[in-house]
Amino acid sequence: MTGPAAGGGAAASSGQPAVAQTDPGRTISTRRGTELFLLGFAAVLVTGAFVLVEANQEKQLSLRIVWYGLAFLASFAIAHLAVRRWAPYADPLILPCVALLNGLGLVVIYRIDLAQTEKFAGSDTPWADAAPRQLAWVAIALVLFLAAMYWVKDHRTLSRYAYTFGLVGLIALALPGALPAAISEVNGSKVWIRLGPLSIQPGEFAKILLMIFFAGFLVSKRDLFTSAGRKFLGMELPRARDLGPVLAAWAVSVGVLVLEKDLGNSLLFFGIVLVMLYMATERIAWVVVGLSLFVGGALLAYNMFAHVQSRVHAWLDPFADYDTGGFQIAQSLFAFGTGGVGGTGLGAGRPEMLLNQANSDFITAVIGEELGFIGLAGVLMIYMLLAMRGMRSALAVRDTFGKLLGAGLSFALVLQVFVVVGGVTTLIPLTGLTAPFLSAGGSSVMANYILVALLLRISDAARRPQQKARPQPQQAPIAEAHTVMVERPQ
């Protein structure tokens, strides 16, 4: 073949850069090998964790370990192949980080199952194992991941449906609040839709849909937010009439708080809007305005709602009302204290003390107990790496929509981790979010896998070398040409 190196050859990162005169660029390594290596490493770690749990529980190594291990390996092998096929230039760190977090989460959930089964052994309501259910959710999430990878060939197409996504997201967010409590209420917060055995949290998906909407909206309406207003304390305040979208976001998050009694999602939603607005405009004034709105809303909520008050009291002094509201937080602090620097070792802690939230909201406390400060810091580092790679892809990608969406998705992950870990360690009041990829919970896993698929897609677009112009086919002079049907160019 003459001329530029064939398009297919560029994907395989085989050695020699093309030396043709017209193709000066050296081939960019796709780095899929690195991804495979790190995925293998993650698999070793997860298997090791599993063996340690079994050993510390003084159990015979059972056949179950093989099944879990194989299921884990198979799902990430499929994900890796999908990335090779559909996003060959994607970031090599995102998928291994997700694999490790998810695998560790599965091991810890399994470990909590063991403890709870023992605890409930005598009672008449035996503990329903969460690990097989979680594994099934991961499988479904993987299918969604593949679907998102396959359908979203270019993240920019998403911006065309921004308003549709926004509407659907808003409905999904509001739906549990509007439904009767019998369908939507679990543990006091109305964020569920329960249909028979299935229960999902539409808010998790709404988060992503609304982020797509905001990215699209901010790209098209960016000028609206940058027009100058009055100067105050060295920063330019936005004009009063431009405050509309921020006020709308604030109203929605307050609505979530009031109707669904969901502190976590309300905080998450408002934080994401603020940060995306800040990233789109680079104006600190929006953050100041947003934070003052947030403080106002928080004070209002504290004075109006008993459940907010009890959360705040439990945060300020968990041991004051140990028997009622502060019990779980106090137990989580005990867990961290028991863990100390090095932890008790996997399988040697007492996660059953954290009641039945141990495998969802308090899973980081279980990790803090069994892996200690060193282990939990490692897990937090992996979250940070994941978000950092997302942010880097957002910086590198060429289009503003991709930048905003990528940065928003990465920030959502970090904020969620901050809210969860901050709540469990009593840095901030406990709000009840799930730790992404770690916690048991179908909706969270599914939504986060879609989020990762979008991040991979954006990072693929960021690193993919620009496509070379195709050689124009030789055409007959227009006067001699026959009439032919041509396809409209995409």
Partner 1 sequence: MPELVVQLTRAGFLALLWLFVLFALRVIRSDIYAASGIKVNVPGFRRSEPKKPKGSKSPRQMVVTHGALAGTRISLDGRPILIGRADDSTLVLDDDYASTRHARLSLRGHDWYLEDLGSTNGTYLDRAKVTAPMRVPLGAPIRIGKTVIELRT
Nearest approach, Cβ of residue 375 and partner 1 (Å):
5
Per-residue tokens: 332: 């989580």
Its sign, for the CA torsion 458, 460, 466, 472, is negative
Assess 65 for contact with partner 1 (CB under 8 A). no
Please choose, out of 10-18, 70-78, 81-89, 248-256, the segment that lies near partner 1 by the rule CB under 8 A.
10-18
Assess 41 for contact with partner 1 (CB under 8 A). yes
* CA 251 distance to own-chain centroid: 24
CB closer to partner 1 out of 344 and 356: 344
Nearest approach, Cβ of residue 146 and partner 1 (Å):
24
Assess 100 for contact with partner 1 (CB under 8 A). yes
Assess 97 for contact with partner 1 (CB under 8 A). yes
**Rounded to whole angstroms, how far apart are CA atoms 464 and 448?**
24
Identify which of 417, 405, 413 has the alpha carbon closest to the alpha carbon of residue 454: 405
Half-sphere exposure of 298 (CA within 13 A, CB side): 15
Assess 56 for contact with partner 1 (CB under 8 A). yes
CB closer to partner 1 out of 23 and 129: 23
Strand partners, 65: none
**Rounded to whole angstroms, how far apart are CA atoms 140 and 143?**
5
Assess 34 for contact with partner 1 (CB under 8 A). yes
Please choose, out of 47-55, 139-147, 271-279, 316-324, the segment that lies near partner 1 by the rule CB under 8 A.
47-55
User: Who's near 382: CB < 8 A, 6+ residues apart?
Assistant: 97, 100, 101
Assess 342 for contact with partner 1 (CB under 8 A). yes
Identify which of 198, 179, 147, 177 has the alpha carbon closest to the alpha carbon of residue 254: 177
**Rounded to whole angstroms, how far apart are CA atoms 76 and 414?**
23
Assess 88 for contact with partner 1 (CB under 8 A). no
- SS3 category, 128: coil
Half-sphere exposure of 231 (CA within 13 A, CB side): 1
Nearest approach, Cβ of residue 230 and partner 1 (Å):
25
**Rounded to whole angstroms, how far apart are CA atoms 135 and 127?**
17
Nearest approach, Cβ of residue 151 and partner 1 (Å):
25
Interaction with partner 1 in 424-483: which residues (CB under 8 A)? 465-466
Please choose, out of 109-117, 195-203, 312-320, 374-382, the segment that lies near partner 1 by the rule CB under 8 A.
374-382
Q: Which of 3, 7, 12, 26 binds partner 1 (CB under 8 A)?
A: 26
CB closer to partner 1 out of 271 and 372: 372
Nearest approach, Cβ of residue 108 and partner 1 (Å):
13
User: Who's near 220: CB < 8 A, 6+ residues apart?
Assistant: none
* Structural contact between residues 152 and 406, judged by C-beta atoms closer than 8 angstroms: no
Q: Footprint of partner 1 on this chain (CB under 8 A)?
A: 15-17, 21, 24-26, 28-29, 31, 33-34, 37-38, 41-42, 44-45, 48-49, 52, 55-56, 58, 92-93, 96-97, 100, 342-343, 345-346, 348, 371-372, 374-375, 378-379, 381-382, 385, 388-389, 398-400, 465-466
